[in-house]
Amino acid sequence: MTSSNKLLSAGLGTISFWYAKYATSVNGAELVVEVATDTTAGDWMEVGRINANGVTELTKYETTVGINQPMYVRFRNVFVEDIGQVNVDNILIGPYQAPNYSAYELYLRQYNVTPGDSGTAPNEDWDGDGYTNTNEFDELTNPYDEAIHP
């Protein structure tokens, strides 16, 4: 199943649904959730995967997509011998929401430093110049360049 149009103009945040093997099917099947900017072959990116084999009760699945542009969405079975069927209900596709960064995290990001990476904590010294990241933040100097410091 593929969406006929790109979904959500601001982008895709999450995809969730309930699944189980189809009631009259002996086997379940593996189901892949994919997104793409167009529908040509090979351009699909996997964002989730479930295996409904042996799943007899509806089970909730949710995956974070986190892409800030409209995308096509498709669900497809992974073919195997004696493939079964999957029952999918209540598909919900949530809109993309930009991360809510603190002033300190925004400061790091302007220098292409990813908050949470090793050396980026406020009391650490990312560039090894003897000044903590907090010192650099307070003075708005580059935490990634040891030649520039408070």
Distance, CA of 49 to CA of 31 (rounded, Å): 6
* Within-domain flag for 150: no
Consecutive H or E run containing 108: helix 103-109
88 and 128 fall within a common domain: no
Q: Express each pLDDT in 14-65 by its tens digit.
A: 999 999 998 888 888 999 999 999 887 778 999 999 999 999 999 999 999 9
66 and 129 fall within a common domain: no
Nearest CA-CA partner of 26 in 77, 81, 73: 81
Q: Which of 95, 115, 130 marks a domain boundary?
A: 95
Distance, CA of 66 to CA of 116 (rounded, Å): 18
**pTM listed for this prediction:** 0.69
* Within-domain flag for 86: yes
Q: Express each pLDDT in 85-106 by its tens digit.
A: 899 999 999 999 988 889 999 9
Portion of the chain with pLDDT greater than 90, in percent: 61
Residue ranges making up the domain that contains 39: 12-95
* Within-domain flag for 80: yes
114 and 82 fall within a common domain: no
* Within-domain flag for 42: yes
16 and 89 fall within a common domain: yes
* Within-domain flag for 115: yes
21 and 86 fall within a common domain: yes
